[in-house]
Each structure stands twice: as C-alpha cells, then as structure tokens.
C-alpha cells in the first residue's frame, strides 16, 4: 500500500512540474518575415496601379532613401510573409478594416505615427480626437487619392470635419458666417485637428490671438481698450455663424445692454424708431467699439 502511494505521489509531482514548466516558459512567437513590396503586386497589382500610384505615399516609395520607405506596404501593414502563405487569414496583417479583423484605432494610429509623429501631430497623444477613439484613417486615406490636400478622405477639409461636427455645419449656413463654404478659409486655419495645448484645439494660445491673425486692426494696442474685446472675442461674436450681422451672438442693442444696463441711456427702454436703437443701435455713435486711439475716444465715439 505504501509503495502504491509513493508511486502515485511521484506521478503527481512529475505532472505538477510539467505544468509549472509550461506556464513559466511562454510559447515562442513565430517571427513573421518581410518579403518586400514587389511581392504584393502579385495579388494587389491592379489596385496599386489604379489608386496607390497617385498618392503621396507612393511618391515617397518611388524616391526611397531608407529601407522603411522602400517597403511601404509592409511599413504600414506589417511583415507579409505569413499573409503570402495564407491570403484568406486577414489577422496576419494590419488591414485598417475593423469589419474584417478585431483591429483597434490605437493599432492603426501606431502604424501612421511611425512617420507622422512630429510637426503638427506633436500633441496627438492625449488630444480630444485621440481620446475619443478617432483613427487617422477616419479622416485620411492610405491607398487612394480623393483630395489634393493631405490624403483626406473627402475632397475638402470642411467636409471631413462636418462628418462629426454637424452643428458647426448648420452654423455655417446662417446668414452671417465665416467664408468657409466659399472656400476662403478652412477649419484648420483656426484649429489643429491633430491636437493642441490650447482650448478647443486652437492654433494660437488664445481666442484673441487666433482672431487677430486675420483681424489685426482689432488687436491693438489701443489708447482706449474695450475690456470684453481684450478678454475674448467670443463675448460678442460666434466665429462659426450667426443670424445677426457681423457674427454677433445677440442682436444690438441687446448685446451691449448685457453689460451696460445701468449707466445713463443704455438701460433706458426705447421704442424701435428712436436714434439709440435704430438700425445699428449703439454703434451709430460708438463706432470704434473694438478700441480707440483718439485722445477723446474714451467712449469709443471717435
């Protein structure tokens, strides 16, 4: 009986040692091999010649100086040796297609950031778009040229932005709006979609600095400064569009009376035909409302 127990104990000990050894030694990963972009032409030649050859990425490959640039297919999709042996298994490559595989935006972005990490993409990590799970391929194409600018997924910058920012699209349809729909400005003139250390992904440090890039005459310095102007242009204007003239957030004179509601005539009720409220309201007299350099311009009249 003791002999049987000893044998059983030895067997269980041996089995336990084998299980521990297997757990302690993880299986070795099969190293995929790089086979070069030339091998991709065997199956994807038609697509490459029709679409890819017109893209910026192909231009980089055609003038390659590094090994990464010489093998652009595998630089983005990963080593293609395993895929060449089993073309039906999409998990062997990074396809940038969530419908075929369980790939994540993080994996796609990692492939793009191999080359596009600096410059305007410096603040991508932690940006509002990155934190919302947005991928580079949501806004850009890799294999096909649709736009002349930056491999965009749609012909124009605003069309790409309006895919998500639909309320802004509505605002740009209002009677007073920035000339974005007319093609004179774009969303990226004011915002950096790849991330910014500033509020609302602005290109400049503040709203005032952003606006005065174009509206320099409103930025001063002025002998007499209007406090809400120096504080924030958005106190009075909606930069994307408004149903009031000059992108105002509220119609005049109500706009001015939000602050000037007690001093002399601003807060006094008036009829629609009186000079104080007729036509342009307060700015009939206070024409230099953004600031004045006149010695007697304390009230922004001159």
CA 111 centroid distance within chain: 17
Cα separation values, 15 from 8, 12, 67, 78, Å = 11, 5, 49, 40
Neighbours of 262 (CB within 10 A): 8
* Interior angle at CA 228, CA 222 and CA 231, nearest 5: 85
DSSP letters for 99-134: TTS---HHHHHHHHTTTS-SGGGTT-TT-HHHHTT-
User: In angstroms, rounded to a whole number, what is the distance separating the alpha carbons of residues 108 and 153?
Assistant: 15
DSSP letters for 51-92: TGGGSHHHHHHHT--SHHHHTHHHHHH---HHHHH-TT-GGG
At 280 the pLDDT is 60
At 249 the pLDDT is 95
Helix (H, G, I), strand (E, B) or coil at 203: coil
CA 270 centroid distance within chain: 47
Q: Would strands 224-225 and 291-292 be described as parallel, antiparallel, or unpaired?
A: antiparallel
Task: Please answer whether residues 94 and 111 qualify as being in contact, where contact means their C-beta atoms are separated by less than 8 angstroms.
Answer: yes
User: In angstroms, rounded to a whole number, what is the distance separating the alpha carbons of residues 111 and 74?
Assistant: 10
Helix (H, G, I), strand (E, B) or coil at 268: coil
Exposure class string for 90-105: b at 16+ Cβ within 10 A, else e:
bebbbbbeeeebebeb
Residue ranges of domains in the chain: 47-154, 221-292
What parts of the chain have a pLDDT lower than 70? 1-32, 64-70, 262-280
At 11 the pLDDT is 47
């Amino acid at each position: 009986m003791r002999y049987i127990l000893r044998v059983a104990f030895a067997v269980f000990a041996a089995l336990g040692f084998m299980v521990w050894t297997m757990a302690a030694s993880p299986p070795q990963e099969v190293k995929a091999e790089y086979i070069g972009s030339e091998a991709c032409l065997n199956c994807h030649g038609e697509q490459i010649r029709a679409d890819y050859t017109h893209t910026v990425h192909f231009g980089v490959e055609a003038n390659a100086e590094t090994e990464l640039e010489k093998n652009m297919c595998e630089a983005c999709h990963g080593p293609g040796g395993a895929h060449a042996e089993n073309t039906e298994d999409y998990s062997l490559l990074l396809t940038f297609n969530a419908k075929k595989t369980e790939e994540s935006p993080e994996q796609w972005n990692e492939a793009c950031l191999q080359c596009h990490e600096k410059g305007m993409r410096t603040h991508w990590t932690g940006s509002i778009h990155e934190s919302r799970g947005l991928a580079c391929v949501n806004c850009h194409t890799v294999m096909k040229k649709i736009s002349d600018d930056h491999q965009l997924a749609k012909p124009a910058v605003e069309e790409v932005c309006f895919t998500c920012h639909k309320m802004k699209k509505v605002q740009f349809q209002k009677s007073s709006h920035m000339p974005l729909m007319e093609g004179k400005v774009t969303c990226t003139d004011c915002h950096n979609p790849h991330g910014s250390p500033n509020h609302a992904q602005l290109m400049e440090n503040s709203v005032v600095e952003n606006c005065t890039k174009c509206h320099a005459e409103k930025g001063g310095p002025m002998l007499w400064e209007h406090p809400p102007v120096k504080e924030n242009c958005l106190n009075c204007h909606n930069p994307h569009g408004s149903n009031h003239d000059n992108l105002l957030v509220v119609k005049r004179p109500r706009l001015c009376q939000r602050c000037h509601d007690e001093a002399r005539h601003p807060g006094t009720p008036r009829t629609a035909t009186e000079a104080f409220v007729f036509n342009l309201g307060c700015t009939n007299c206070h024409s230099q409302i953004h600031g004045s350099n006149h010695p007697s311009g304390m009230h922004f009249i001159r």
